[in-house]
């Protein structure tokens, strides 16, 4: 039969099958097929085809149209019902929305901050191929990470390894710069190779990327620096005078750079050409003071290169580092060379010689989890309140069911309601976030560290998250609400107690466990930070003014300056030194003992003049200070701290007169004094061995101890003495205690944020508790009325209503204690000096939670207990 | 229950076709009755409604090749369907009884 071969248009037949399934037998499709065959035989195939298509379209078109119309109608009706419900139950709606809004705001704020932390150095096009050359040196069984290298690494790496496309050095220098008015400013800048512009994406506004810093004595400015010095961006070809080898020398400006983004671990306002320094100056492999960055080619693999770098140590470094090798070990045991990806530097900064105080991966984790926890608490409020109030909707649900609503439709209705609430809450949350950020910016002088640019991707992600929150929070209530059986409900059989209130109780316990854990964490962090602030650091940090200076004139005329200062009663003492507390940049060296062969240890070496130990008020345990009267003190004497003496195996007074050297037995150093341990670094680190050596030539800073009292007057005196002694030198000052505070900035930030957010979490949890208490009190109105009629006092009823909640809080405490104990113990491991955990934070936090929840619940309970029983019994 | 004209025609068509009473054939017969094409959509809706009123019942035949391997849904009158037809016929007869002057005889 001819017709057998002819088939109706496939797509339309498929449509028919989809829309008229007919229990899988497709008799309708069959009828159409038969008719099609008939038309095809009588009137031709194409006519039959068109007929088929027309029939299908004609019958399908109304389907989507009707669906749309009905969905819209239902949507409008659901919205109307939802809004009426919200209006009728203002308190619950308020609690739900505000709790969620706070939760969402917290999440956005933390999300922005985390995004910023993770975005560091990603703006370079080749970010994943740029690495910093770092070394790891093991001294006395302790590993130290040294992100600095000598100037020779750069060329050697390019020569030895074809994978290294390019390399560049960053050498941090501080100069006095004379601006166009003749005023002096101190600037910290980097001396760099021109190849930095091939490796990093520092954007040029003017000038040539290829040649800007090729010639000696050329300099490149960012927009900020250009405005500061010239007030315009038209600066190419101008000059700036830098103090170069004692004289102010013009440096030509060859480029203008766009300001660097905040999220860069290298920050600068000026770059000068490395070639300004003669090549002959860099011959040593062991003078490590600059940062070397390399750009690898696209196929290079990090671990393979790091393996290959062992060869670099063998070929280039081993001859230089002979003294590091302890007997029986190879150089690879004590010295490692490796590449570190720049995108990881910010969250894993080196403790030594880092370019910028970094963040920490731990804070990112802590903050993210706190944000998530608060959101969970808010979500639980939502679920709890919705299910608690389910009974009020029971009649509506049953009426809808009786009138023919499917369970699915009811679920959709309640999900829509929760989505509506979530959307309102997230709009509020965004407002809160904006308010917070502008508040933060106005309170603290710096901007809130957050990405300020929202891409379409962010908005999409955010909407997705909001949608998910709405779905998850709404799912459980929707399932519960749509379950009501009409027959039972209309007869008046609600099941409001029993299993469901158990569920709510568990949720409240969970919320409070989180809140109490955060409270305990907050208290312990606070204790730890105040412990560090007040801990004896071994010297007196108050009332010390620091005056930095690199100029050789300062070292020359230091004694004159001191004499002038000390003529005033406001000035107690003054001292010049090469190092200051709080600097990570000490010189380190090995000290060898003359007695007991092979006894040696690594120590911080501090170069200072006669008055340093006195100025810092570091107490002596034995021996004496350097003395001006003994000319023998100028060479070959050393003062150690307790830890260093301990390394030698002496008691403080035994050590006096013993000899040490720095690897060369002919230049021995006599121990003339032992001081108490002092802590020059952040208390996160242990006290290291330290040694003072007398130096009056190499001075980079002057420390002045002033009498407490009129600081302004003392500063004026110091400035006058400075101007009259070092005319033309830039005067700058800072305070020692402020400088030391800087060491704890990242801990302080963590602490502040944790405190704010713990308070938030307690607030949100209490909001939920308040809602639940209000609900219970309302639901038990009749019961309370009957109790009162039968003679219960207000106190009876109050305790009857309240004790449940307090019991829940106590159960939460039992859960929170071990968790927070474990978490805080591991947090404290980060500190070399830490408090020992005692019971107080644990007790105190639970007590706080109890008090707050008691206040929250008692408002509702008292209201219910105080009501007139007559009204209560008539209630409903 | 009195049937509408189209219900009456559909039920009669089903009855006349007996074991061949499925979509295509019913539609053909309806065209013979009225002289007009009936859309498949309209036909199925009507048949569905009559089935819901339990005037019709249906079963699926074995698949046949000329229908692309699909079954036929074959309709049959139920007892209620037959009674409804009879009732309708009676009512109509009584309406038409003794009608004069329309020129019925000439046609």
pLDDT in tens, A81-106: 888 888 888 888 888 888 889 888 88
| Torsion over CA: A359, A362, A365, A371 (sign) | negative
* A573 three-class SS: strand
Alpha carbons A231 and A234: distance in angstroms, whole number: 9
Structure tokens at B95: 């309406």
User: Best mutation site among A12, A14, A24, A31 for testing chain B: the one with the most B CBs within 10 Å?
Assistant: A31
Angle at which helices B5-17 and B23-34 cross, to 10°? 120
pLDDT in tens, A203-225: 999 988 888 899 999 999 999 99
| Average pLDDT score over residue span A374-381 | 86
* Torsion sign over Cα A541, A547, A550, A555: negative
* A30 contacts in chain B (CB < 8 Å): 23, 63, 67-68, 70-72
pLDDT value, residue A445: 56
Which residue from B24, B41, B44 is facing A34, i.e. has the nearest CB? B24
CA distance B29 to A616: 115
Integer CA distances (angstroms), B64 to A7, A31, A245, B71, in order = 15, 11, 105, 6
Angle between helices A361-388 and A499-534 in degrees, nearest 10? 150
- Comparing alpha-carbon positions, the chain B residue that sits nearest to A33 is B67
Q: What is the mean pLDDT of residues A817-842?
A: 86
Tokens representing A735 are: 């305070």
At residue A757, the pLDDT reads: 78
CB contact under 8 A, A38 and B60: no
pLDDT classification of A812: cutoffs 50, 70, 90: very high
Q: For residues B73 and A31, what is the distance between their CA atoms, to the nearest angstrom? A: 9
- CB contacts < 8 Å between A and B, how many? 65
pLDDT in tens, A426-463: 999 989 988 888 887 776 656 666 665 566 777 888 88
Q: pTM for the whole thing?
A: 0.71
β-pairing, A659-661 with A701-706? unpaired
Confidence of residue B88 (pLDDT cuts 50, 70, 90): very high
What 3-state DSSP class applies to A840? helix
Nearest to A26 among B39, B40, B70 (CB): B70
What whole-number distance in Å separates Cα of residue A573 and Cα of residue A511? Answer: 57
**Can you tell me the mean pLDDT for A793-814?**
86
Closest residue to A34, CB basis, from B39, B60, B66? B66
Give burial (CB, 10 Å; 0-12/13-18/19+) of A294. buried
Residue A686 DSSP symbol: P
DSSP state of A595: S
Which residue ranges make up each domain of chain A? 2-60, 127-344, 361-532+745-874, 550-729
d(CA A636, CA A833): 34
pLDDT of residue A662 exceeding 70, the answer is yes
User: CB-CB: which of B22, B60, B65 is closest to A31?
Assistant: B22
Say if strands A239-244 and B73-77 run parallel, antiparallel, or are unpaired: unpaired
Diameter of chain B by CA atoms? 55
- What's residue A731's pLDDT? 82
Nearest partner of A116 among A304, A394, A364, A328, judged by Cα: A364
CB of B22 within 8 Å of a chain A CB? The answer is yes
Candidates B44, B60, B70; nearest CB to A33: B70
Rounded CA Rg of chain A: 38
| Model confidence pLDDT, tens digit, residues A255-304 | 999 998 888 889 899 999 999 998 888 888 877 888 999 999 988 889 99
Query: Residue A850 pLDDT > 70, yes or no?
Result: yes
Pick the CATH number of B5-93 from 1.10.10.10, 1.20.1510.10, 3.40.50.280, 3.20.20.70: 1.10.10.10
Length of chain B: 107
Sign of the torsion formed by the C-alpha atoms of A857, A860, A866 and A870: negative
Q: How confident is the model at residue B87 (pLDDT cuts 50, 70, 90)?
A: very high
pLDDT of residue A483: 80
DSSP A405: -
Identify the closest residue of chain B to A10 by CA–CA distance: B68
Q: What average pLDDT does the structure give for chain A?
A: 83
Q: Per DSSP, which regions of A527-649 are E strands?
A: 544-548, 571-577, 587-593, 600-608, 620-623, 637-641
Q: B64: nearest CA in chain A? A: A30
CB A163 within 8 A of CB A156: no
What percent of chain A lies above the pLDDT cut of 70?
A: 90
Nearest to A807 by CA among A876, A859, A736, A857: A857
8 Å CB contact of B66 and A28: no
Residue numbers in A near B24 (CB within 8 A) = 31, 34-35, 38
Q: How far apart are CA A821 and CA A827, in angstroms?
A: 10
What is the predicted pLDDT for the residue at A220?
Answer: 94
pLDDT of A2: 43
Residue among A768, A805, A763 at smallest CA distance from A95: A768
**Nearest to A147, CA basis, from A297, A402, A301, A350:** A350
Mean pLDDT of A660-681: 81
Contact A33 B63 (CB under 8 A): no
pLDDT of residue A819: 93
Distance from CA of B2 to the nearest CA of A (A): 28
Name the B residues in 28-87 with CB < 8 Å from any A CB: 39-41, 44, 60, 63, 65-68, 70-73
Neighboring chain A residues of B68 at a CB cutoff of 8 Å: 7-8, 13, 29-30, 33
Partner-chain contact A27 B71, CB within 8 Å? yes
- Residue A616 DSSP one-character state: T
Q: Are residues B66 and A3, on separate chains, in Cβ contact within 8 Å?
A: yes
B chain contacts of residue A25, beta-carbon cutoff 8 Å: 60, 70-71, 73
Tell me: the pLDDT tens digits for A491-525? 665 555 445 667 888 888 888 898 888 888 888 88
Instruction: Tell me the shortest Cα–Cα distance from B69 to chain A, in angstroms.
Output: 7
**Helix A840-866 to helix A781-789 angle, to the nearest 10 degrees?**
70
Q: Chain A residue with minimal CA distance to B61?
A: A27
A642 close to A609: Cβ distance less than 8 angstroms: no
pLDDT at position A107 is 86
Give how far the C-alpha of residue A853 lies from the chain's centroid of Cα atoms, to the nearest Å: 31
SS (H, E, C) chain B: CCCCHHHHHHHHHHHHHHHHCCHHHHHHHHHHHHCCCCCHHHHHHHHHHHHHCCCEEEEECCCEHHHCCECCEEEEECHHHHHHHHHHHHHHHHHHCCCCCCCCCCC
In A179-280, the DSSP E strands lie at 184-192, 204-207, 218-222, 239-244, 247-257, 270-273
- CA-to-CA dists, residue A681 to A206, A288, A302, A305, A743, angstroms: 42, 21, 33, 34, 8
Measured between alpha carbons, how far is A556 from A781 in angstroms, rounded to an integer? 88
Token readout for A182 is: 């003749």
Q: Exposed (0-12), middle (13-18) or buried (19+): which is A157, by Cβ within 10 Å?
A: buried
A30·B71 Cβ contact <8 A: yes
Rounded-to-5 percentages of helix, strand, coil across chain A? 55, 15, 30
Lowest mean pLDDT among A173-187, A307-321, A809-823: A173-187
CA A182 to chain centre: 42
Interatomic CA distance for residues A662 and A645, integer angstroms: 15
pLDDT-derived band of residue A490, with 50, 70 and 90 as boundaries?
low
Summarised one tens digit per residue, pLDDT across range A696-752 is: 777 888 899 998 888 888 888 898 888 888 877 778 888 888 877 777 766 676 677
Place of tokens 């997230």: A426
Write the CA distances from A241 to A8, A184, A370, B86, integer angstroms: 88, 10, 51, 118
| pLDDT at A338 (0 to 100) | 92
Burial class (CB in 10 A: 0-12, 13-18, 19+), A523: buried
Cβ count within 10 A of residue A819: 15
Contacts of A53 (CB under 8 A, 6+ apart): A9, A12
Q: Which residues on chain A are in Cβ contact (under 8 Å) with B73? A: 22, 25, 27-28, 31
Residues in chain B within 8 Å Cβ distance of A55: 39-41
Question: What band does A1 get if pLDDT is binned at 50, 70 and 90?
Answer: very low
Whether residues B67 and A30 touch (CB distance < 8 A) is answered with: yes
Q: pLDDT tens digit string along A545-568?
A: 888 876 677 778 888 888 888 888
Look at residue A453 in the predicted model and tell me its pLDDT.
57
End-to-end CA distance of chain B: 31
* Stronger pLDDT, A752 or A465, i.e. the higher one: A465
For residue A265, how many other CB atoms are within 10 A of its CB? 20
Whether residues A31 and B41 touch (CB distance < 8 A) is answered with no
> What number is the average pLDDT over the span A463-480?
85
Reported ipTM: the value is 0.76
Task: Give the number of other Cβ atoms within 10 Å of residue A14's Cβ.
Answer: 12
The residue written with tokens 């007695």 in the block is: A595
Answer for the pair A800, A497: CB distance below 8 angstroms, yes or no: no
Q: Give the model's pLDDT for residue B86.
A: 93
CB of A197 closer than 8 Å to CB of A126: no
Asked whether the predicted pLDDT for residue A63 surpasses 60, the reply is yes
Torsion angle of C-alpha atoms A469, A385, A507, A476, degrees rounded to 10: -50
Share of chain A above pLDDT 90, in %: 13
Residues in chain A closer than 8 A to B63 (CB atoms): 30
The confidence score (pLDDT) of residue A331 equals 81
């Amino acid at each position: 039969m001819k017709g057998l071969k002819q088939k109706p248009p496939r797509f339309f037949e498929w449509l028919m099958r989809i829309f008229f399934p007919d229990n899988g037998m497709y008799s309708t499709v069959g009828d159409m097929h038969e008719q099609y065959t008939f038309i095809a035989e009588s009137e031709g195939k194409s006519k039959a085809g068109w007929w088929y298509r027309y029939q299908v379209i004609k019958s399908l078109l109304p389907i989507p149209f009707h669906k749309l119309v009905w969905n819209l109608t239902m949507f409008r009706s659901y919205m109307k019902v939802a809004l009426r419900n919200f209006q009728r139950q203002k308190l619950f709606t308020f609690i739900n929305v505000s709790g969620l809004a706070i939760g969402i705001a917290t999440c956005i704020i933390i999300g922005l901050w985390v995004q910023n932390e993770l975005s560091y150095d990603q703006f370079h096009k080749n970010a994943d191929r740029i690495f910093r050359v770092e070394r790891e040196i093991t001294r006395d069984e302790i590993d130290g990470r040294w992100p600095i290298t000598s100037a020779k690494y750069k060329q050697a790496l390019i020569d030895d390894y074809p994978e290294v496309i390019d390399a560049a050095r960053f050498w941090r220098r501080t100069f006095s710069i004379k601006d166009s008015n003749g005023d002096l400013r101190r600037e910290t800048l980097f001396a760099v190779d021109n190849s930095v512009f091939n490796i990093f994406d520092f954007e040029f506004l003017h000038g040539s990327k290829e040649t800007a810093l090729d010639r000696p004595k050329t300099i490149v400015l960012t927009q900020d620096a250009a405005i500061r010095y010239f007030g315009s961006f038209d600066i190419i070809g101008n000059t700036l005078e830098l103090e170069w080898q004692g004289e102010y020398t013009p440096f030509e400006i060859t480029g203008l750079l766009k300001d660097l983004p905040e999220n860069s671990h290298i920050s600068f306002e000026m770059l000068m050409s490395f070639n300004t320094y003669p090549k002959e100056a860099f011959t040593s492999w062991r003078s490590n003071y600059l940062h070397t960055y390399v750009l690898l080619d696209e196929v290079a693999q990090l671990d393979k290169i790091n393996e290959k770098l062992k060869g670099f140590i063998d070929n280039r470094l081993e001859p230089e580092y002979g003294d590091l090798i302890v007997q029986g070990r190879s150089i690879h045991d004590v010295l490692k060379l490796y590449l570190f990806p720049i995108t990881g530097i910010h969250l894993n900064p080196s403790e030594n010689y880092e370019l910028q105080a970094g963040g920490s991966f731990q804070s990112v984790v802590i903050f993210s989890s706190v944000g998530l926890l608060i959101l969970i608490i808010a979500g639980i409020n939502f679920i709890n309140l919705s299910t608690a109030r389910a009974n009020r909707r029971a009649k509506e649900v049953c009426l809808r069911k009786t009138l023919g609503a499917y369970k699915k439709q009811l679920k959709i209705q309640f999900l829509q309601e929760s989505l509506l609430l979530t959307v309102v809450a997230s709009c509020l949350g965004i407002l809160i976030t904006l308010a917070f950020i502008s508040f933060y910016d106005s309170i603290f002088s710096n901007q809130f560290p957050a990405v300020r640019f929202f891409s379409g991707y962010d908005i999409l992600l955010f909407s997705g998250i909001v949608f998910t929150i709405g779905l998850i929070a709404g799912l459980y209530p929707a399932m519960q609400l749509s379950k009501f059986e009409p027959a039972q409900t209309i007869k008046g059989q609600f099941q409001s107690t029993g299993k469901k209130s158990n569920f709510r109780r568990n949720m409240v316990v969970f919320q409070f466990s989180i809140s109490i854990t955060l409270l305990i964490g907050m208290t312990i962090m606070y204790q730890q930070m105040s412990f560090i602030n007040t801990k004896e650091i071994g010297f007196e940090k108050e009332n010390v003014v620091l005056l930095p200076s690199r100029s050789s004139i300062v070292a020359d005329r230091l004694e004159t300056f001191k004499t002038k200062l000390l003529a005033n009663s406001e000035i107690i003492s003054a001292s010049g030194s090469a190092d200051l507390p709080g600097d990570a940049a000490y010189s380190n060296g090995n000290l060898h003992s003359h007695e007991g062969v092979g006894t040696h240890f690594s120590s911080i070496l501090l170069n200072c003049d006669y008055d340093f130990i006195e100025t810092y008020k570091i107490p002596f345990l034995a021996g004496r200070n350097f003395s001006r009267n003994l000319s023998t003190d100028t060479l070959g004497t050393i003062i150690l701290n307790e830890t260093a003496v301990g390394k030698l195996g002496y008691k403080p007074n035994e050590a006096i007169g013993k000899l040490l050297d720095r690897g060369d037995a002919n230049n021995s150093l006599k121990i003339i004094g032992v001081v108490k341990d002092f802590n020059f670094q952040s208390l996160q680190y242990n006290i290291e061995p330290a040694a003072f050596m007398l130096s009056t030539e190499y001075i980079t800073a002057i420390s002045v101890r002033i009498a407490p009292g009129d600081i302004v007057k003392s500063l004026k005196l110091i400035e006058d003495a400075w101007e009259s002694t070092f005319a033309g030198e830039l005067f700058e000052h800072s305070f020692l205690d402020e400088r030391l505070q800087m060491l704890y900035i990242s801990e302080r930030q963590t602490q502040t944020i944790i405190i704010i957010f713990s308070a938030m979490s307690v607030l949100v949890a209490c909001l939920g508790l308040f809602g639940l208490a209000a609900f219970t009190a309302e639901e038990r109105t009749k019961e309370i009325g009957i109790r009162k009629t039968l003679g219960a006092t207000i106190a009876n009823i109050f305790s009857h209503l309240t004790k449940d909640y307090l019991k829940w809080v106590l159960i939460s405490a039992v859960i929170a204690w071990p968790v927070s104990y474990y978490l805080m113990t591991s947090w404290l491991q980060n500190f070399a000096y830490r408090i020992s955990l005692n019971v107080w934070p644990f007790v105190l936090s639970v007590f706080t939670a109890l008090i707050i929840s008691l206040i929250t619940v008692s408002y509702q309970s008292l209201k219910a207990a105080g009501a007139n029983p007559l009204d209560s019994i008539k209630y409903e | 229950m009195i049937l509408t004209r189209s219900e009456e025609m559909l039920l009669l068509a089903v009855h006349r076709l007996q074991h061949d009473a499925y979509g295509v054939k019913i539609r053909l017969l309806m065209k013979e009755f009225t002289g007009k094409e009936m859309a498949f959509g309209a036909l199925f809706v009507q048949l569905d409604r009559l089935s819901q009123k339990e005037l019709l019942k249906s079963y699926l035949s074995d698949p046949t090749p000329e229908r692309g391997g699909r079954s036929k849904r074959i309709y049959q009158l139920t007892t209620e369907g037959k009674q409804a037809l009879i009732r309708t016929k009676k009512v109509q007869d009584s309406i038409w009884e003794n009608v004069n002057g329309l020129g019925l005889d000439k046609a």
